[in-house]
Amino acid sequence: MSRSWERQVKRNTKQLNDRRKKAGQDRLGTTKASSEFTVYKGRNIVFPATLVLLGLVYGTMGIMYPAASTSVILFVVTVLLYVFLGVILFLRRPYLKVGKDSLITTKFNRDRILTAANVKKIRLQKGYVVIEHSTKGGAWLFARTLNRYDTDAMAEHLRKFAATHNITVEDKL
């Protein structure tokens, strides 16, 4: 096949997969089923609660000490946006998907994928799981206190993952 034909096939496959994803169907051209991943979901609490509290503090300060130069509508919209952002971040659950040969999580609203070849070390501590990798960016930290992950179940699954792919595990449990 010529390169332009290959590009056209890739583009059409991508468009078709996007449509199939919106319809809730499996993707074409992939061999992995979604059931091959074990998903560990957490819950953001600290940062959304901080945003809601900041919005409420800002609102009470605006009510107690009104300034003549500020617009009331802009003030109300600002307070509501703080609260709205806090609620949205609370409802968006962080996760770790562990597959046969890859790890997937969300960072800055994008899915990040690590293959087993890119994982340097997995550190397991009480309440924490740290995955160090050789790609760009910092280590992945999954904490029980911060994001309410089930770190014990994650640790067991990651031990099996590491044993399968000869990854060093630093276990401090």
| Cα–Cα distance list, 2 to 6, 11, 15, 35, 109 (Å) | 6, 14, 20, 35, 36
Q: Which residues pair with 33 in a beta bridge?
A: none
What's the residue count for the chain?
173
Q: Whole-model pTM? A: 0.69
Per domain, the residue ranges of the chain are 46-91
**128-169 residue pLDDT tens:** 999 999 988 889 999 998 889 999 999 999 999 999 999 999
Asked whether the predicted pLDDT for residue 49 surpasses 70, the reply is yes
**63-122 residue pLDDT tens:** 887 765 567 788 888 899 999 999 999 999 999 999 999 999 988 778 899 999 999 999
Band the pLDDT of 52: cuts 50, 70, 90. very high
Give the strand pairing for 119-125 and 168-172: parallel
